[in-house]
Amino acid sequence: MITKEILVSTNTNKENNLYEMSIERPVLLVFLRHFGCIYCREALHDLADLRKDIENRNTQIVIVHLSEFELAKTYLEKYGLDDIEQISDPDCDLYAKFGLVKGSMGQLFGLKVWTRGFGQMAKGNMYSIKQVGDGFQMPGLFVLAEGSVKDMFLHNSIADKPNYLELIDGVIEKLK
């Protein structure tokens, strides 16, 4: 269970804690795997494309990654997301607190992963040989509001593609 204490004690690179941020407005907390992952690159591309729509919903994006801040910034810059608040969690402590586990063979290397992976490579989202993070870590999304988790998207496969706006809209509707 994700407690208030976890949210209060988790600070971004801008020294804001998740609890206070979620009191001010909803937070889309995006846990990535590693920056070499084609699906994480797809997620960053999607977030860059949807950023205005997300922000127009009065929701703030926070990216959680497994790299050091400066290295992450070089990857985030490619998508115009280097000004987004981020959390560095190289030891996967926050991932574990949010219930995000290491993937099984099927989740990491199953048919869906290969099928969508070839499609992503055709779009130019190549897998990087240089892995920056834990290749076995599963990703996830959480929408925080009013000091707690209001909804989440837990991947059954690393190739799952979440609908970010639908997830946010569902929470906003519940808050009305």
Rounded Cα distance, 48 and 86, in Å: 14
Rounded Cα distance, 130 and 135, in Å: 11
- Please provide the distance, in angstroms rounded to a whole number, between the alpha carbons at the two ends of the chain: 24
Q: Where are the domains of the chain?
A: 4-175
Buried b (16+ CB within 10 A) or exposed e, 75-99: bbeebebeebbbbbbeebebbebbe
137 Cβ partners below 8 Å, 6+ apart? 33, 34, 66, 92, 95, 100, 102, 103
Q: Which fold has domain 4-175?
A: Glutaredoxin (3.40.30)
Rounded Cα distance, 29 and 69, in Å: 16
Q: 23, 16 in Cβ contact below 8 A? A: no
pLDDT of residue 61: 98
Rounded Cα distance, 29 and 157, in Å: 18
Give pLDDT tens digits along the chain (176 positions): 899 999 999 999 999 999 999 999 999 999 998 887 787 888 999 999 999 999 999 999 999 999 999 889 988 999 999 999 999 999 999 999 999 967 655 555 544 454 555 455 545 554 444 556 666 778 899 999 999 999 999 987 777 899 999 999 999 999 98
Residue 46 burial (10 A CB sphere; 0-12, 13-18, 19+): middle
pLDDT of residue 159: 79
pLDDT of residue 34: 83
| Radius of gyration, CA atoms only, the chain | 15
- pTM of the predicted model as reported, rounded to 2 decimal places: 0.86
